[in-house]
Homo-oligomer: A and B are copies of this chain.
Amino acid sequence: MPENAQQPKPEAASGSAREPRDVPRALIGLIEQEGLKVGDRLPPELELVRRLGFGRSTIRETLKTWESMGVVSRNKGAGTRLIAEISTNTLRVALTIKHEADSLLRTQQVRRPLEIESVRIATRSATPEQRLIINARAAELMAVYEAGEDWRPADHRFHNAIHDATGNPLFSQFIEQIQKAFHDIYDAPFGKPHLGQDTIPLHRPLADAIIAGDEDKAAELAGMIIDMVCAETQKISEEHDG
């Protein structure tokens, strides 16, 4: 490394001066400049202090925030690693989900329109290649299911193929995060039965409808699938809270 000095900013001796906004920006600048990828280690805090010209606590506040957003992971002794992409073009928003009686159902209620819309868009605008992939994933899912194995990874891949076909990565991200929140809530209080098992047989006709371009049929099937999950979710909630 040819001796840093990329941010010629140590103008202020002590006290404060710059807007706090600059810390994330400087950090992202360093990451881009250094070409750091997911999995790479960031420089240690004290080096960041030296190179970016901010105080350690200030930098730590940003790093801690990033950790809570899932951008980096931090460990004593080890260091700070990038675990998600971040760049000047990345925008991160955080949600808080209240975990109470019907929060399980609520997550599914929000997921419902997103899944259905993603199916509609995918049916309309998937490329032939994407339809092939969806078909293959559906076949894989049915095979695993009928073999009596754990079908959840295959289910995940199937739905991901649909989300990809929308051409809008936001769908995938949102639904993914909702599911993550769902499982965070779900795993804790209850044992973990295979929620949604009965919906698997409906996945084959769903795939067929998408491939055939039958948007309404696809949307209807997607709705049925998620409604079944909703119903199961509701039953579990009621058993537990009431």
Q: Which residues of A contact B (CB under 8 A)?
A: 57, 60-62, 64-65, 68-71, 84-87, 89-100, 103, 106-107, 109-110, 112-114, 116-117, 121, 168-171, 173-174, 177-178, 180-181, 184-185
Contact = CB atoms under 8 A, between A and B. Distances in A.
The 10 closest A-B pairs by CB, nearest first: A113-B117, A113-B113, A89-B99, A69-B94, A91-B97, A93-B177, A61-B64, A93-B95, A94-B94, A65-B68
B107 A96 contact: no
A107 to B, nearest CB: 7
A173 B64 contact: no
B68 A69 contact: yes
B113 A96 contact: no
Contacts of A181: 91, 93
Contacts of A110: 114, 117, 168, 170-171, 174
A87 B98 CA distance: 7
Given A85-B96, A168-B110, A174 B174 contact: yes
A159 to B, nearest CB: 16
B87 A97 contact: no
5 contacts: A90-B97, A98-B169, A106-B170, A113-B117, A174-B174
